[in-house]
Amino acid sequence: MTGKTGVRFEEAEKRKGVLLTSIAVSGAALGWLTRGSPTLMGAVALLTTYFMTGDRYQWIYIWKKTHYRDFLGLRVLLYTIFRIWLWERQGKTVVARWSDVAKMNPDKKAFIMDDRALTFREGDEFSNRISWYFKRQGYKPGEVIALFMETQPEYVFLWLGLAKIRVTTALINTNLRGAQLIHCLRIAGCKAVVFGDEMTAAIKEIQHEIPDIPLFQYNSPDRPSSPVLQDTAPLAAELREMSHEPVVDCGQAKPRDTLLYIYTSGTTGFPKAAIITNIRYLLIPLGVQRAAQLSTADIVYDPLPLHHTAGGVLGAGLAVVSGCTVVLRKKFSASNYWSDAAKYGCTATQYIGEICRYLLAVPPGPNDRAHKVNVIIGNGLRPQIWPEFVQRFGIKRVLEFYGATEGNSNLVNLDSKVGAIGFLSRIFSTIYPLTLVKCDEITGEILRDGNGRCITCGPHEPGLLLGKIDAKKAILTFAGYADKTASEKKMVRNVRAEGDCYFNTGDVLVMDHYGYFYFKDRTGDTFRWRGENVSTAEVEGVISTLIGLKDAVVYGVKIPHVEGKAGMAAIADPEKTLDLTSLAKGLRSSLPAYARPLFIRILPESPLTATFKLKKKELMEEGFNLENIKEPMYFLDQKTGEYVPLTQKLYDDIMQDVVRL
């Protein structure tokens, strides 16, 4: 909203008290619980507002724009909260919920990959064999076993079988090698490793470093004759001797017991082992299933790695918790995405990170709309390509969400608002207490007022997203990491009152007058140049659009004798087709001078993590030093406005302050 109406609305925001919110929440909740008309209940809340404030017209305008979204969101939130509360009261775990789901449609396919599938009955029987095998190996409740395997239909049932004997599984990223792999095994206290035969080389490389950890090799049914690594147990062969009946004497797990460790990939440092409890695993697919309006008849396409939350909890969880059929793919393929969706009759698909950009980069073909997909679910759809994406592929609904593996600050975009990662309505902000607080965008340091409390952001003010931690409410808990020190670093205390505690997402967001949130940047990714803050995410989006959706990573680099950091962009250009003249022209018309990268580095391959996030740490450390970098680099000539090769002489002139910036 702009103009005088927007100003009046902002003033009204400051005057609105808790009483109004409470009335709105009570009315909305009553309407939902009694299945009354959302419009009628909204009218009650509006009428109350009318008599409590003189700013009537702007409230009417906002209500007209958001009332349907808000009550839809309230129904999703209340349903999810109630169901999770009920399950926790009943002592429900993932194993117990799976048992219920498997009995609903035992002969229905649970997971499909290529030409192979497992039904709910077959998956349950396989998981029982896993239970018996590791029980006889002597593993006890509370111990941890690592699962190091590429995607296949048996993957989920391996860790589910361990959960049936109350053994926790650490889901190891299959891209890890050497020291990082050993770190992940040690930090979670793994007592054994189950690895797929396709990971034999990676295990062999570290085998001498982990002589105390037993190894179990699982040969996929696709490759039953693969040789077994020396000093390992042939798990697939030995499972055939196990009973498919359930183990009954292992005791009952609790909803808040640890089910899995999932490692946060991030873009810097060693991975951290995030704790996924039973109740959190139940919460994620339940909330998404309700928000996406999925039923057991839906078929979900999940091309994401199962060691990651999006693929292994949200995607696979729609089979485990909700009874959907889930189609898997070993590795994401942009060229096969829509043909797979059409082939298997998928009604919903997943995306994450840069996947949507890759799909747009594929030349148009007959499969672009030859599918039955009603909704796509994920996060990371850039606003610059959102309209083009939904138009080209005929997408009816985008369920963009925001969340972290370990966090309690989740948002969802229920009405496909372009660019929004979710919303928080005034009518349920007290039920789900998230807040944006002011921070130093460069360092991430939270700013506080004279009383030592965090300063709440107003509309369109960028701020750090925090979510209140309440151990009594499953939806607001923060289980943390295996490393308790790392857990403490994610907590912010005394945010609004003495002794309160919030989860720090580390993300800078912006909220508009209507309650929509938009991603701005990760704290620490923003840098300052020419007295202005530069958002790397914003510049990356612009560059990627200008260069035909190629990968681009933007970061700040330090230059001697110059205040702040200059922008640098590393661009993946394996085909060597990048037109720097066109790029420079596009940047001049799209970005202010301070946001245009001074340096360009050409990379031979995409700088991506396993979860399709752009890497930055190594690139930032290397900067633009010619001695350490062999790839071509270019510098934005200050006179011509064109990118020129970064020669040794030019580099020396920049370092010695001969070139004026």
**CB pairs under 8 A, 24+ apart, for 44-52?**
45/427, 48/20, 48/23, 48/24, 49/20, 52/20
Does 538 map to a domain? yes
Domain with 166 in it: what CATH number? 3.40.50.12780
Last residue of a domain, one of 520, 538, 557: 520
507 with 612, same domain: the answer is no
How confident is the model at residue 565, as a pLDDT? Answer: 86
DSSP codes of every residue in 333-367? -TTTHHHHHHHTT-SEEEEETTHHHHHHHSPP-GG
Q: Domain containing 551 — which CATH number?
A: 3.30.300.30
What distance in Å separates the CA atoms of residue 217 and residue 224, rounded to the nearest whole number? 11
- Please tell me the predicted confidence (pLDDT) of residue 31: 43
* Torsional sign, CA 607, 608, 613, 616: negative
SS3 399: strand
CA distances from 660 to 598, 602, 623 (A): 12, 24, 19
515: in domain = yes
Whether residue 221 is found in the same domain as residue 126: yes
CB-count burial class (<10 Å; 0-12, 13-18, 19+) for 345: middle
- pLDDT value of position 51: 44
Q: Is residue 353 part of a domain?
A: no
CA distances to 283, 561, 566, 597, 625 from 653, in Å = 57, 12, 16, 18, 13
Q: 140 and 228: one domain? A: yes
For the CA atoms of 582, 586, 592, 595, the dihedral, rounded to the nearest 10 degrees, stands at -60
Burial zone of 206 (CB within 10 Å; 0-12 exposed, 13-18 middle, 19+ buried): middle
Among 520, 548, 579, identify where a domain stops. Answer: 520
Given the structure tokens 């018996």, which residue do they identify?
A: 132
- pLDDT at res. 281: 97
Do both 143 and 188 map to the same domain?
yes
Phi, psi of 298 (to 5 degrees): -75, 150
| 537 found inside a domain | yes
Return the number of other C-beta atoms located less than 10 Å from residue 135's C-beta. Answer: 19
Query: Which tens digits make up the pLDDT trace of 190-246?
Result: 999 999 999 999 999 999 999 999 999 999 998 888 899 999 999 999 999 999 999
Number of H helices, E strands in the chain: 21, 28
Q: Quick one: 42 and 144 in the same domain?
A: no
Give the residue from 343, 341, 378, 381 showing the smallest Cα distance to 360.
381
d(CA 361, CA 114): 24
Helix (H) or strand (E) holding 536: helix 536-546
256/271 same-domain check: yes
- 3-state SS class at 593: helix
Q: Let me know: does 45 contact 35? Beta carbons within 8 Å.
A: no
- The domain total for the chain is 3
Owner of token pair 């580099």: 651
Evaluate whether residue 405 is within a structural domain.
no
Q: What pairs with residue 148 in β-bridges? A: 195
Note the pLDDT tens digit of each residue in 322-351.
Answer: 999 999 999 999 999 999 999 999 999 999
Q: For residues 431 and 78, what is the distance between their CA atoms, to the nearest angstrom? A: 9
637 alpha carbon, distance to own chain's centre:
38
Residue 290 resides in a domain: no
Do 175 and 154 share a structural domain?
yes
- DSSP secondary structure letters along 597-639: -SEEEEESS--B-TTS-B--HHHHHHTT-TTT--S-EEEE-TT
Q: pTM higher than 0.85, yes or no? A: no
* DSSP state at residue 457: P
Instruction: Divide the 661 residues of the chain into consecutive groups of 10 and give the mean pLDDT of each group.
Output: 41 41 40 45 51 59 86 93 96 97 96 97 98 96 97 97 98 88 94 96 94 96 89 95 92 94 70 94 96 96 94 97 97 95 97 87 92 94 92 96 89 95 83 91 86 94 94 90 89 94 92 92 76 80 86 88 85 88 90 88 78 72 87 91 93 85 74
Q: Which of 282, 302, 323 is the last residue of a domain?
A: 282
Q: How far apart are CA 605 and CA 322, in angstroms?
A: 39
The whole-angstrom separation of Cα 637 and Cα 639 is: 6
Shared domain for 435 and 536, answered yes or no, is no
Range of the domain at 268: 109-282
559 φ, ψ (degrees, to nearest 5): -120, 130
* Residue 621 within any structural domain of the chain: yes
Based on the fold, state whether residues 534 and 620 are members of the same structural domain. yes
Asked if 112 contacts 327 with a C-beta cutoff of 8 angstroms, the reply is yes
Same domain as 616, residue 467 = no
Tokens 């505690």, located at residue: 501
Q: Helical H runs in 53-149? A: 56-89, 94-104, 120-136
pLDDT value at position 592?
78
Residue 426's CATH number: 2.30.38.10
In a domain, 385, yes or no: no
* Phi, psi dihedrals of residue 324, rounded to the nearest 5°: -75, 160
Same domain, 42 and 120: no
CA–CA distances in Å: residue 82 to residues 86, 91, 285: 6, 14, 15
Both 537 and 640 in one domain: the answer is yes
Rounded to whole angstroms, the Cα distance separating 635 from 565 reads 15
So what's the pLDDT on residue 2?
39
